[in-house]
Structure 1
Amino acid sequence: MSEELFPRPPAEIAPGAVHLPGRLDAEAQHELLTACRRWALPPAGLRTVRMPSGGRMSVRQLSLGRHWYPYGYADTVVDGGGEPVKPFPGWLGEWARAAVDAAAEVVAGTDTLGRRPCDVPYDIALVNFYGDGARMGMHRDSDEKSAAPVVSFSLGDACVFRFGHSGGRGRPWHDVTLRSGDAFVFGGPARLAYHGVPRTDPGTAPPGLGLRGRVNVTVRAY
């Protein structure tokens, strides 16, 4: 029997970190995937990121609004061909703000995400593509000047999302299964928590989506 027959309620994984299962319906997933495929085209399209150590990330990536490179932001692809970065779409910011508002309802009665509707001007995003065998090591999103919550949308194959703490890469951590259409919001005390993706589950994407692999769109405020 499929696990999808059973409801997956929203849950606070750690103070300020909220999992929103099924946040994007099938239509919204198709809309976001279509946009990602358009953004992935050159110029300033999907690329392999080289780290300062010389290693290469197994995840391929592109940026919207501002170009991320290890470890900072620029208006152009400074670690590539120097092309201007693609603009950040306003509708994606609206999706992110709505997800933060939904997460705030889950933690109602606490101050971890704030009690008022989110009015943050989200203006940047990273799009990560996980092919078979790709993973993301434990890291934290600390290159932004804003402390606004980070909003992550998942498409395609399911993955294990490992969410830790701000004190370092080691335990304790929580392993959460993110499936296509899920959102994950982390802010407040969880904003600088280390997190990563130790593995994906190839072949678990919704058949109707037409995607092999996993796409993760992480929306932030610069």
Structure 2
Amino acid sequence: MPKSTRATAAACALLFVGLLGCGGAGTPLFATTSELPEQSRRPDGVAVDPASAPPRARDVANAGAGLVTLRTPLGTEAVLTTVNGFFRAIVNEDMEALEALFTRDALSISTTYGPNSSAPSAPLFWTQRMRRLDYTKLAGEVVFREAELEVYRAEDALTSSPHPAIRVEALSAGDVVVRVPIAASRAGSDRLLGDEVVLWLRREGERYRIYRIVEDFQMP
């Protein structure tokens, strides 16, 4: 055997023996294929803090209430929409449109009745009025002027009531009271409206509905 070949064989033998010596010193420092888990690996768990639901929206809150959700106040445009819709439905004798403007418990209060008189349901009262009186005679008339409206909000910290029939302490947050001077209350000899109509509006969602109607009017 050539000398170079014998030297190479000897070197390989020494290397093989060295590897055996290392392998016998202990367990391998890495996992062998036979030791890997058989099931597929799952992703590491992550702690998730679910977002809590925001508090129910309110119109007002005091400074010590903690975390609150406040509703954006409705502007004057929302008030005018309800007021205009009310008188438009009356002149058109559109009872369906009128009922849509009332709250479920809307009442029509007449200041001509005694203090012990019960106020009728607003939809029922106006249905009877339209049967007895012809409100279409007001078509083309200026029933009221927007510039003359007086608007009072519950959050204005009112010291006195906008009308004797409405108690300040009865106003809920978000309520609006509108005093409407009537420019055309008669058609010929027929009196169709009082000299003024006071509308107590209550917020429902993004609009106002009529909660109370106060008027100096007596059914003929």
TM range (shorter): under 0.3
In terms of fraction of residues, the more strand-rich structure is 1
Output the TM-score relative to the length of structure 1: 0.24
Output the TM-score relative to the length of structure 2: 0.24
Higher RCO (CA < 8 A, seq sep 6+) = 1
In terms of fraction of residues, the more helix-rich structure is 2
